Structure 1
Amino acid sequence: MGAVLERYASDVASAMVATLGPRLVGVFLHGSAALGGFDVRRSDVDVLVVAEGRMTAVEKSAAARALSNERLPCPAHGLELSIVTFSAAQNPTAQPAFELHVTTAPEDTKVVDGHEHGGDPDLVLHFAVCRGAGQLIGPGRPASEVFAPVPDDLVLAQLASELRWSAGHAPGEYAVLNACRAWRFAADGALVSKIDGGRWALGRVPGPDGELIRTALNRQRCLPAAELDPRAVRRFVGQALSRLAETPA
Protein backbone atom coordinates (compact mmCIF):
# COMPACT_ATOMS: atom_id res chain seq x y z
CA MET A 1 0.00 0.00 0.00
CA GLY A 2 1.45 3.38 -0.97
CA ALA A 3 1.84 6.16 1.56
CA VAL A 4 -0.97 8.28 0.07
CA LEU A 5 -3.45 5.40 0.06
CA GLU A 6 -2.39 4.35 3.55
CA ARG A 7 -3.00 7.87 4.87
CA TYR A 8 -6.40 8.06 3.18
CA ALA A 9 -7.46 4.66 4.56
CA SER A 10 -6.35 5.77 8.02
CA ASP A 11 -8.46 8.93 7.69
CA VAL A 12 -11.48 6.83 6.69
CA ALA A 13 -10.96 4.63 9.75
CA SER A 14 -10.66 7.69 11.99
CA ALA A 15 -13.95 9.01 10.61
CA MET A 16 -15.62 5.70 11.47
CA VAL A 17 -14.17 5.73 14.98
CA ALA A 18 -15.58 9.22 15.47
CA THR A 19 -18.99 8.16 14.11
CA LEU A 20 -19.45 4.76 15.77
CA GLY A 21 -17.28 5.01 18.86
CA PRO A 22 -17.02 1.82 20.93
CA ARG A 23 -19.54 0.05 18.65
CA LEU A 24 -16.97 -0.08 15.85
CA VAL A 25 -15.82 -3.67 15.29
CA GLY A 26 -13.36 -2.91 12.50
CA VAL A 27 -12.61 -1.09 9.24
CA PHE A 28 -11.30 -3.37 6.49
CA LEU A 29 -9.63 -2.58 3.20
CA HIS A 30 -10.50 -5.11 0.50
CA GLY A 31 -10.73 -5.23 -3.31
CA SER A 32 -7.65 -4.51 -5.43
CA ALA A 33 -5.98 -2.55 -2.62
CA ALA A 34 -5.83 -5.79 -0.62
CA LEU A 35 -5.63 -8.40 -3.39
CA GLY A 36 -3.28 -6.57 -5.77
CA GLY A 37 -3.64 -4.74 -9.05
CA PHE A 38 -4.58 -1.40 -7.48
CA ASP A 39 -4.21 1.56 -9.89
CA VAL A 40 -5.13 5.08 -8.75
CA ARG A 41 -6.25 5.91 -12.30
CA ARG A 42 -9.12 3.43 -12.34
CA SER A 43 -9.37 1.58 -9.01
CA ASP A 44 -11.83 2.33 -6.23
CA VAL A 45 -10.73 2.25 -2.61
CA ASP A 46 -12.93 -0.57 -1.31
CA VAL A 47 -13.71 -0.47 2.40
CA LEU A 48 -16.03 -2.55 4.57
CA VAL A 49 -16.95 -1.28 8.03
CA VAL A 50 -18.44 -3.55 10.69
CA ALA A 51 -20.40 -2.23 13.67
CA GLU A 52 -22.16 -3.72 16.66
CA GLY A 53 -25.87 -3.10 16.20
CA ARG A 54 -27.77 -1.00 13.70
CA MET A 55 -26.96 2.61 12.92
CA THR A 56 -29.17 5.54 13.82
CA ALA A 57 -30.21 8.19 11.32
CA VAL A 58 -27.88 10.66 13.04
CA GLU A 59 -24.94 8.27 12.69
CA LYS A 60 -25.68 7.71 9.01
CA SER A 61 -25.80 11.44 8.30
CA ALA A 62 -22.55 11.96 10.20
CA ALA A 63 -20.83 9.13 8.30
CA ALA A 64 -22.01 10.44 4.92
CA ARG A 65 -20.68 13.91 5.67
CA ALA A 66 -17.34 12.66 7.01
CA LEU A 67 -16.73 10.41 4.00
CA SER A 68 -17.76 12.86 1.29
CA ASN A 69 -15.15 13.76 -1.29
CA GLU A 70 -15.44 17.39 -0.22
CA ARG A 71 -14.50 16.50 3.37
CA LEU A 72 -12.15 13.61 2.57
CA PRO A 73 -10.81 13.71 -1.03
CA CYS A 74 -10.05 10.25 -2.38
CA PRO A 75 -6.61 9.81 -3.99
CA ALA A 76 -7.94 7.19 -6.43
CA HIS A 77 -11.00 6.79 -8.66
CA GLY A 78 -13.28 6.98 -5.64
CA LEU A 79 -14.29 5.47 -2.32
CA GLU A 80 -16.69 2.54 -2.24
CA LEU A 81 -17.65 1.82 1.37
CA SER A 82 -20.34 -0.23 3.04
CA ILE A 83 -21.22 -0.43 6.72
CA VAL A 84 -22.71 -3.70 7.98
CA THR A 85 -23.54 -5.13 11.38
CA PHE A 86 -21.40 -7.76 13.06
CA SER A 87 -24.41 -10.08 12.89
CA ALA A 88 -24.55 -9.72 9.08
CA ALA A 89 -20.83 -10.45 8.77
CA GLN A 90 -21.23 -13.55 10.94
CA ASN A 91 -24.24 -14.88 9.03
CA PRO A 92 -23.64 -14.46 5.27
CA THR A 93 -26.64 -14.81 2.98
CA ALA A 94 -27.21 -14.40 -0.76
CA GLN A 95 -28.16 -10.75 -0.18
CA PRO A 96 -26.60 -9.48 3.06
CA ALA A 97 -28.24 -6.56 4.84
CA PHE A 98 -26.29 -3.32 5.15
CA GLU A 99 -26.59 -0.11 7.11
CA LEU A 100 -25.10 2.45 4.73
CA HIS A 101 -23.36 2.50 1.36
CA VAL A 102 -21.23 5.44 0.21
CA THR A 103 -19.51 5.95 -3.14
CA THR A 104 -17.58 9.04 -4.18
CA ALA A 105 -16.53 8.23 -7.77
CA PRO A 106 -17.35 11.32 -9.90
CA GLU A 107 -19.80 9.47 -12.16
CA ASP A 108 -21.46 7.50 -9.35
CA THR A 109 -21.52 9.61 -6.19
CA LYS A 110 -24.27 8.36 -3.88
CA VAL A 111 -25.32 7.58 -0.34
CA VAL A 112 -27.70 4.64 0.11
CA ASP A 113 -29.59 3.91 3.33
CA GLY A 114 -29.54 0.15 3.79
CA HIS A 115 -32.67 0.18 5.93
CA GLU A 116 -34.61 1.10 2.78
CA HIS A 117 -33.22 -1.82 0.75
CA GLY A 118 -33.47 -5.58 0.84
CA GLY A 119 -29.71 -6.09 0.97
CA ASP A 120 -26.74 -6.07 -1.38
CA PRO A 121 -25.57 -9.26 -3.15
CA ASP A 122 -22.19 -7.64 -3.85
CA LEU A 123 -21.43 -8.05 -0.15
CA VAL A 124 -21.13 -11.82 -0.63
CA LEU A 125 -17.77 -11.45 -2.36
CA HIS A 126 -16.77 -8.53 -0.14
CA PHE A 127 -17.26 -10.74 2.93
CA ALA A 128 -15.30 -13.61 1.36
CA VAL A 129 -12.40 -11.37 0.32
CA CYS A 130 -12.31 -9.63 3.70
CA ARG A 131 -12.12 -12.94 5.54
CA GLY A 132 -9.27 -14.15 3.35
CA ALA A 133 -7.30 -10.98 2.63
CA GLY A 134 -8.96 -7.98 4.29
CA GLN A 135 -6.59 -5.49 5.89
CA LEU A 136 -7.67 -4.10 9.25
CA ILE A 137 -7.21 -0.32 9.29
CA GLY A 138 -7.05 1.25 12.73
CA PRO A 139 -8.45 -0.35 15.89
CA GLY A 140 -10.60 -3.45 15.76
CA ARG A 141 -10.77 -7.22 15.64
CA PRO A 142 -8.96 -9.33 13.01
CA ALA A 143 -10.91 -10.20 9.87
CA SER A 144 -10.81 -13.93 10.65
CA GLU A 145 -12.86 -13.27 13.80
CA VAL A 146 -15.27 -10.79 12.23
CA PHE A 147 -16.25 -12.53 8.99
CA ALA A 148 -17.64 -16.05 9.02
CA PRO A 149 -16.71 -18.39 6.15
CA VAL A 150 -18.89 -17.71 3.12
CA PRO A 151 -20.37 -20.94 1.66
CA ASP A 152 -19.01 -21.80 -1.78
CA ASP A 153 -22.48 -21.95 -3.30
CA LEU A 154 -23.04 -18.29 -2.42
CA VAL A 155 -19.65 -17.29 -3.89
CA LEU A 156 -20.26 -19.27 -7.09
CA ALA A 157 -23.72 -17.76 -7.54
CA GLN A 158 -22.44 -14.22 -7.07
CA LEU A 159 -19.48 -14.73 -9.39
CA ALA A 160 -21.90 -15.95 -12.05
CA SER A 161 -24.21 -12.99 -11.46
CA GLU A 162 -21.31 -10.54 -11.83
CA LEU A 163 -20.19 -12.24 -15.03
CA ARG A 164 -23.64 -12.00 -16.60
CA TRP A 165 -23.81 -8.32 -15.66
CA SER A 166 -20.32 -7.52 -16.94
CA ALA A 167 -20.97 -9.11 -20.33
CA GLY A 168 -23.57 -6.45 -21.09
CA HIS A 169 -22.55 -3.43 -19.02
CA ALA A 170 -18.82 -3.38 -18.20
CA PRO A 171 -15.81 -2.56 -20.36
CA GLY A 172 -14.47 -5.59 -22.24
CA GLU A 173 -11.29 -5.82 -20.19
CA TYR A 174 -13.29 -5.85 -16.95
CA ALA A 175 -15.52 -8.66 -18.26
CA VAL A 176 -12.60 -10.77 -19.52
CA LEU A 177 -10.51 -10.44 -16.38
CA ASN A 178 -13.51 -11.00 -14.14
CA ALA A 179 -14.11 -14.20 -16.10
CA CYS A 180 -10.50 -15.24 -15.45
CA ARG A 181 -10.98 -14.51 -11.76
CA ALA A 182 -14.13 -16.66 -11.69
CA TRP A 183 -12.34 -19.45 -13.55
CA ARG A 184 -9.59 -19.40 -10.93
CA PHE A 185 -12.15 -19.80 -8.14
CA ALA A 186 -13.83 -22.66 -10.02
CA ALA A 187 -10.43 -24.36 -10.41
CA ASP A 188 -9.04 -24.14 -6.88
CA GLY A 189 -11.29 -22.02 -4.67
CA ALA A 190 -8.95 -19.00 -4.61
CA LEU A 191 -10.37 -15.47 -4.75
CA VAL A 192 -7.84 -13.23 -6.45
CA SER A 193 -7.73 -9.83 -8.13
CA LYS A 194 -8.75 -9.41 -11.76
CA ILE A 195 -5.10 -8.82 -12.70
CA ASP A 196 -3.92 -11.98 -10.92
CA GLY A 197 -6.81 -13.93 -12.42
CA GLY A 198 -5.74 -12.82 -15.89
CA ARG A 199 -2.11 -13.75 -15.25
CA TRP A 200 -3.17 -17.17 -13.97
CA ALA A 201 -5.39 -17.85 -16.98
CA LEU A 202 -2.91 -16.55 -19.54
CA GLY A 203 -0.78 -19.67 -19.47
CA ARG A 204 -3.76 -21.99 -19.61
CA VAL A 205 -5.38 -21.03 -22.91
CA PRO A 206 -3.84 -21.06 -26.41
CA GLY A 207 -4.34 -18.89 -29.45
CA PRO A 208 -7.06 -16.23 -29.64
CA ASP A 209 -8.21 -16.59 -26.03
CA GLY A 210 -4.67 -16.03 -24.80
CA GLU A 211 -4.41 -12.90 -26.92
CA LEU A 212 -7.78 -11.72 -25.60
CA ILE A 213 -6.55 -12.04 -22.02
CA ARG A 214 -3.22 -10.37 -22.84
CA THR A 215 -5.01 -7.43 -24.44
CA ALA A 216 -7.42 -7.16 -21.49
CA LEU A 217 -4.48 -7.08 -19.06
CA ASN A 218 -2.80 -4.30 -21.02
CA ARG A 219 -5.99 -2.24 -21.15
CA GLN A 220 -6.60 -2.77 -17.42
CA ARG A 221 -3.09 -1.43 -16.78
CA CYS A 222 -3.81 1.57 -19.04
CA LEU A 223 -1.19 0.39 -21.53
CA PRO A 224 -1.60 0.78 -25.32
CA ALA A 225 -3.82 -2.03 -26.58
CA ALA A 226 -6.36 -2.76 -29.30
CA GLU A 227 -10.10 -2.63 -28.74
CA LEU A 228 -11.59 -5.93 -27.61
CA ASP A 229 -14.04 -7.67 -29.92
CA PRO A 230 -17.41 -7.73 -28.05
CA ARG A 231 -18.28 -11.11 -29.58
CA ALA A 232 -15.00 -12.61 -28.32
CA VAL A 233 -15.63 -11.12 -24.88
CA ARG A 234 -19.14 -12.60 -24.69
CA ARG A 235 -17.87 -16.00 -25.82
CA PHE A 236 -15.10 -15.98 -23.21
CA VAL A 237 -17.51 -14.96 -20.46
CA GLY A 238 -19.84 -17.76 -21.57
CA GLN A 239 -17.01 -20.27 -21.16
CA ALA A 240 -16.37 -19.03 -17.63
CA LEU A 241 -20.07 -19.30 -16.78
CA SER A 242 -20.01 -22.92 -17.97
CA ARG A 243 -17.04 -23.65 -15.74
CA LEU A 244 -18.83 -22.15 -12.75
CA ALA A 245 -21.97 -24.18 -13.49
CA GLU A 246 -19.90 -27.37 -13.49
CA THR A 247 -18.16 -26.57 -10.20
CA PRO A 248 -19.53 -28.47 -7.18
CA ALA A 249 -20.37 -26.17 -4.27
Structure 2
Amino acid sequence: MEDYARNVAAAMATTLGPRLVGVYLHGSAVLGGFDARRSDVDVLVVCEGPMTAVEESAAAQRLSRERLPCPAHGLELSIVTFSAAQHPTARPEFELHVTTAPEDTKCVDGRDREGDPDLVLHFAVCRNAGRLLGPGRPAPEAFAPVPDDLVLAQLASELRWCTGHAPGEYAVLNACRAWRFAVDGALVSKVDGGRWALDLVSGADGELVRTALDRQRCLPAAELDPRAVQRFVHHALGRITEVSA
Protein backbone atom coordinates (compact mmCIF):
# COMPACT_ATOMS: atom_id res chain seq x y z
CA MET A 1 0.00 0.00 0.00
CA GLU A 2 2.87 2.40 0.76
CA ASP A 3 4.27 2.14 -2.77
CA TYR A 4 0.81 2.66 -4.21
CA ALA A 5 0.21 5.77 -2.09
CA ARG A 6 3.53 7.23 -3.20
CA ASN A 7 2.61 6.53 -6.83
CA VAL A 8 -0.68 8.37 -6.37
CA ALA A 9 1.21 11.35 -4.98
CA ALA A 10 3.65 11.26 -7.90
CA ALA A 11 0.75 11.21 -10.36
CA MET A 12 -0.74 14.27 -8.69
CA ALA A 13 2.61 16.07 -8.69
CA THR A 14 2.93 15.42 -12.42
CA THR A 15 -0.62 16.63 -13.04
CA LEU A 16 -0.61 19.80 -10.93
CA GLY A 17 3.07 20.76 -10.90
CA PRO A 18 3.91 23.79 -8.75
CA ARG A 19 0.20 24.37 -8.00
CA LEU A 20 0.14 21.26 -5.79
CA VAL A 21 -0.15 22.12 -2.09
CA GLY A 22 0.10 18.52 -0.93
CA VAL A 23 -1.22 14.95 -1.11
CA TYR A 24 -2.50 13.52 2.19
CA LEU A 25 -3.24 9.96 3.25
CA HIS A 26 -6.15 9.70 5.68
CA GLY A 27 -8.85 7.23 6.77
CA SER A 28 -8.03 3.82 8.22
CA ALA A 29 -4.52 3.91 6.74
CA VAL A 30 -3.58 6.54 9.33
CA LEU A 31 -6.20 5.99 12.07
CA GLY A 32 -5.79 2.20 12.22
CA GLY A 33 -7.90 -0.76 11.21
CA PHE A 34 -6.75 -0.81 7.57
CA ASP A 35 -7.44 -4.16 5.88
CA ALA A 36 -6.64 -4.45 2.19
CA ARG A 37 -9.51 -6.91 1.75
CA ARG A 38 -12.15 -4.29 2.51
CA SER A 39 -10.48 -0.90 3.10
CA ASP A 40 -10.09 1.88 0.57
CA VAL A 41 -6.91 3.90 0.26
CA ASP A 42 -8.20 7.35 1.24
CA VAL A 43 -6.37 10.35 -0.20
CA LEU A 44 -7.03 14.08 -0.25
CA VAL A 45 -5.22 16.35 -2.69
CA VAL A 46 -5.01 20.11 -2.21
CA CYS A 47 -4.18 22.45 -5.08
CA GLU A 48 -3.63 26.19 -5.09
CA GLY A 49 -6.69 27.00 -7.19
CA PRO A 50 -9.37 25.55 -9.46
CA MET A 51 -8.31 22.76 -11.81
CA THR A 52 -8.47 23.10 -15.57
CA ALA A 53 -10.34 20.62 -17.74
CA VAL A 54 -7.00 19.35 -19.04
CA GLU A 55 -5.75 18.72 -15.49
CA GLU A 56 -8.95 16.89 -14.55
CA SER A 57 -8.71 14.62 -17.58
CA ALA A 58 -5.03 13.90 -16.89
CA ALA A 59 -5.75 13.12 -13.23
CA ALA A 60 -8.57 10.73 -14.12
CA GLN A 61 -6.35 8.84 -16.56
CA ARG A 62 -3.35 8.60 -14.26
CA LEU A 63 -5.42 7.38 -11.31
CA SER A 64 -7.45 4.79 -13.21
CA ARG A 65 -7.34 1.12 -12.21
CA GLU A 66 -5.78 0.32 -15.57
CA ARG A 67 -2.90 2.78 -15.14
CA LEU A 68 -2.50 2.44 -11.37
CA PRO A 69 -3.91 -0.82 -9.97
CA CYS A 70 -4.83 -0.51 -6.29
CA PRO A 71 -3.57 -3.24 -3.91
CA ALA A 72 -6.54 -2.64 -1.56
CA HIS A 73 -10.30 -2.49 -2.10
CA GLY A 74 -9.89 0.66 -4.15
CA LEU A 75 -8.78 4.28 -4.20
CA GLU A 76 -11.03 7.03 -2.86
CA LEU A 77 -9.53 10.41 -3.71
CA SER A 78 -10.80 13.96 -3.76
CA ILE A 79 -9.05 17.07 -5.03
CA VAL A 80 -9.94 20.36 -3.33
CA THR A 81 -8.61 23.89 -3.50
CA PHE A 82 -6.55 25.41 -0.71
CA SER A 83 -9.38 27.88 -0.12
CA ALA A 84 -11.89 25.04 0.43
CA ALA A 85 -9.53 23.32 2.87
CA GLN A 86 -9.02 26.58 4.77
CA HIS A 87 -12.73 27.41 5.05
CA PRO A 88 -14.63 24.20 5.92
CA THR A 89 -18.39 24.24 5.46
CA ALA A 90 -21.16 21.65 5.77
CA ARG A 91 -20.70 20.80 2.06
CA PRO A 92 -17.12 21.61 1.03
CA GLU A 93 -16.59 22.24 -2.65
CA PHE A 94 -14.32 19.89 -4.58
CA GLU A 95 -12.66 19.83 -7.97
CA LEU A 96 -12.62 16.12 -8.72
CA HIS A 97 -13.60 12.89 -6.97
CA VAL A 98 -12.18 9.54 -8.08
CA THR A 99 -13.01 6.04 -6.84
CA THR A 100 -11.62 2.82 -8.28
CA ALA A 101 -13.33 0.07 -6.27
CA PRO A 102 -14.57 -2.57 -8.75
CA GLU A 103 -18.23 -2.07 -7.81
CA ASP A 104 -17.98 1.73 -7.63
CA THR A 105 -15.61 3.09 -10.24
CA LYS A 106 -16.31 6.73 -11.04
CA CYS A 107 -14.80 10.11 -11.75
CA VAL A 108 -16.96 13.07 -10.69
CA ASP A 109 -16.41 16.68 -11.74
CA GLY A 110 -17.24 18.79 -8.70
CA ARG A 111 -17.32 22.19 -10.33
CA ASP A 112 -21.07 22.18 -11.03
CA ARG A 113 -22.09 20.45 -7.79
CA GLU A 114 -23.11 21.77 -4.40
CA GLY A 115 -20.20 20.11 -2.62
CA ASP A 116 -19.55 16.89 -0.75
CA PRO A 117 -20.56 16.59 2.94
CA ASP A 118 -18.23 13.58 3.32
CA LEU A 119 -15.32 16.01 3.07
CA VAL A 120 -16.16 17.43 6.51
CA LEU A 121 -14.78 14.34 8.25
CA HIS A 122 -12.00 13.92 5.69
CA PHE A 123 -10.81 17.46 6.42
CA ALA A 124 -10.97 16.86 10.18
CA VAL A 125 -9.02 13.60 9.99
CA CYS A 126 -6.41 15.13 7.67
CA ARG A 127 -5.98 18.09 10.00
CA ASN A 128 -5.41 15.83 13.02
CA ALA A 129 -3.73 12.75 11.57
CA GLY A 130 -3.22 13.11 7.80
CA ARG A 131 0.12 11.97 6.45
CA LEU A 132 1.79 14.07 3.78
CA LEU A 133 2.88 11.98 0.81
CA GLY A 134 5.88 13.56 -0.87
CA PRO A 135 6.73 17.27 -0.78
CA GLY A 136 4.18 19.84 0.28
CA ARG A 137 2.75 21.69 3.26
CA PRO A 138 2.20 19.76 6.51
CA ALA A 139 -1.43 18.78 7.00
CA PRO A 140 -2.09 21.26 9.85
CA GLU A 141 -1.07 24.07 7.49
CA ALA A 142 -3.16 22.84 4.57
CA PHE A 143 -6.37 22.19 6.56
CA ALA A 144 -8.00 24.63 8.94
CA PRO A 145 -9.66 23.32 12.13
CA VAL A 146 -13.14 21.94 11.47
CA PRO A 147 -15.73 23.18 13.99
CA ASP A 148 -17.08 20.45 16.26
CA ASP A 149 -20.67 21.21 15.29
CA LEU A 150 -19.90 20.42 11.64
CA VAL A 151 -18.21 17.16 12.62
CA LEU A 152 -21.08 16.11 14.89
CA ALA A 153 -23.67 16.95 12.25
CA GLN A 154 -21.85 14.88 9.64
CA LEU A 155 -21.34 11.96 12.03
CA ALA A 156 -25.09 11.98 12.71
CA SER A 157 -25.87 12.17 8.98
CA GLU A 158 -23.62 9.19 8.29
CA LEU A 159 -25.32 7.17 11.01
CA ARG A 160 -28.77 7.85 9.55
CA TRP A 161 -27.49 6.70 6.16
CA CYS A 162 -25.85 3.58 7.64
CA THR A 163 -29.03 2.01 8.96
CA GLY A 164 -30.48 1.46 5.51
CA HIS A 165 -27.45 1.16 3.28
CA ALA A 166 -24.34 -0.17 5.05
CA PRO A 167 -23.44 -3.60 6.43
CA GLY A 168 -24.36 -4.07 10.08
CA GLU A 169 -20.78 -4.07 11.32
CA TYR A 170 -20.08 -0.79 9.52
CA ALA A 171 -23.14 0.82 11.13
CA VAL A 172 -22.35 -0.44 14.64
CA LEU A 173 -18.70 0.56 14.59
CA ASN A 174 -19.46 3.90 12.96
CA ALA A 175 -21.90 4.50 15.82
CA CYS A 176 -19.12 3.69 18.30
CA ARG A 177 -16.67 6.16 16.79
CA ALA A 178 -19.37 8.85 16.63
CA TRP A 179 -20.17 8.22 20.29
CA ARG A 180 -16.46 8.53 21.12
CA PHE A 181 -16.24 11.91 19.38
CA ALA A 182 -19.34 13.12 21.20
CA VAL A 183 -17.74 12.19 24.54
CA ASP A 184 -14.18 13.49 24.19
CA GLY A 185 -13.70 14.98 20.71
CA ALA A 186 -11.39 12.20 19.51
CA LEU A 187 -11.66 11.10 15.88
CA VAL A 188 -10.71 7.43 15.72
CA SER A 189 -11.10 4.50 13.36
CA LYS A 190 -14.21 2.34 13.41
CA VAL A 191 -12.20 -0.49 14.99
CA ASP A 192 -10.79 1.74 17.74
CA GLY A 193 -14.25 3.17 18.31
CA GLY A 194 -15.59 -0.34 18.84
CA ARG A 195 -12.79 -1.23 21.25
CA TRP A 196 -13.45 1.95 23.21
CA ALA A 197 -17.18 1.22 23.41
CA LEU A 198 -16.57 -2.26 24.85
CA ASP A 199 -15.55 -0.62 28.12
CA LEU A 200 -18.92 1.14 28.33
CA VAL A 201 -21.43 -1.48 27.18
CA SER A 202 -22.35 -4.93 28.37
CA GLY A 203 -24.85 -7.69 27.75
CA ALA A 204 -26.46 -7.73 24.31
CA ASP A 205 -24.81 -4.44 23.28
CA GLY A 206 -21.38 -5.75 24.24
CA GLU A 207 -21.94 -8.89 22.19
CA LEU A 208 -23.15 -6.79 19.26
CA VAL A 209 -19.99 -4.66 19.29
CA ARG A 210 -17.69 -7.70 19.68
CA THR A 211 -19.37 -9.43 16.75
CA ALA A 212 -19.15 -6.26 14.65
CA LEU A 213 -15.41 -6.04 15.40
CA ASP A 214 -14.89 -9.66 14.35
CA ARG A 215 -16.81 -9.16 11.12
CA GLN A 216 -14.94 -5.92 10.35
CA ARG A 217 -11.66 -7.81 10.75
CA CYS A 218 -12.94 -10.61 8.49
CA LEU A 219 -12.99 -13.13 11.35
CA PRO A 220 -15.66 -15.85 11.62
CA ALA A 221 -18.74 -14.28 13.23
CA ALA A 222 -22.51 -14.56 13.25
CA GLU A 223 -24.76 -12.31 11.21
CA LEU A 224 -25.85 -9.17 13.03
CA ASP A 225 -29.54 -8.78 13.85
CA PRO A 226 -30.72 -5.71 11.84
CA ARG A 227 -33.11 -4.74 14.64
CA ALA A 228 -30.29 -4.77 17.19
CA VAL A 229 -28.10 -2.73 14.85
CA GLN A 230 -30.83 -0.16 14.33
CA ARG A 231 -31.45 0.12 18.07
CA PHE A 232 -27.74 0.60 18.81
CA VAL A 233 -27.38 3.26 16.11
CA HIS A 234 -30.50 5.03 17.39
CA HIS A 235 -29.00 5.21 20.88
CA ALA A 236 -25.76 6.63 19.47
CA LEU A 237 -27.71 9.28 17.58
CA GLY A 238 -29.38 10.22 20.85
CA ARG A 239 -26.02 10.72 22.53
CA ILE A 240 -24.80 12.92 19.67
CA THR A 241 -28.01 14.98 19.76
CA GLU A 242 -27.55 15.56 23.49
CA VAL A 243 -24.06 16.96 22.90
CA SER A 244 -25.17 19.10 19.95
CA ALA A 245 -28.13 20.64 21.84
Equivalent in the alignment of 2:65: 69
Q: How does 1:139-178 map to 2 (within 5 A)?
A: 139-178=135-174
| Structure 1 runs of 4+ with >4 Å offset | none
What is the root-mean-square deviation of aligned Cα atoms in Å?
A: 0.6
Deviation digits for residues 197-241 of structure 1 (CA, Å, limit 9, x no counterpart): 000001110100000000000000000000000000000000000
Q: 1:96 aligns with which of 92, 96, 106?
A: 92
Q: Is the 8 A contact 2:152 2:244 kept in 1?
A: no
Normalising to structure 2: TM-score of the pair? 0.99
Equivalent in the alignment of 2:76: 80
Report SS of the residue matched to 1:95.
coil
Normalising to structure 1: TM-score of the pair? 0.98
Q: 1:181 aligns with which of 177, 183, 202?
A: 177
Note if 1:35 corresponds to 2:31.
yes
Note if 1:58 corresponds to 2:54.
yes
Identity of aligned residues (%): 81
Gaps of 5+ in 1: none
> CA–CA distance in 1 between the matches of 2:125 and 2:196?
18
> CA–CA distance in 2 between the matches of 1:211 and 1:228?
10
> CA–CA distance in 2 between the matches of 1:103 and 1:144?
25
Note if 1:214 corresponds to 2:210.
yes
Report SS of the residue matched to 2:77.
strand
> CA–CA distance in 2 between the matches of 1:167 and 1:179?
10
Q: Structure 2: which amino acid aligns with 1:139?
A: P
Q: Structure 1: which amino acid aligns with 2:168?
A: G
Q: Structure 2: which amino acid aligns with 1:144?
A: P
Q: How does 1:13-32 map to 2 (within 5 A)?
A: 13-32=9-28
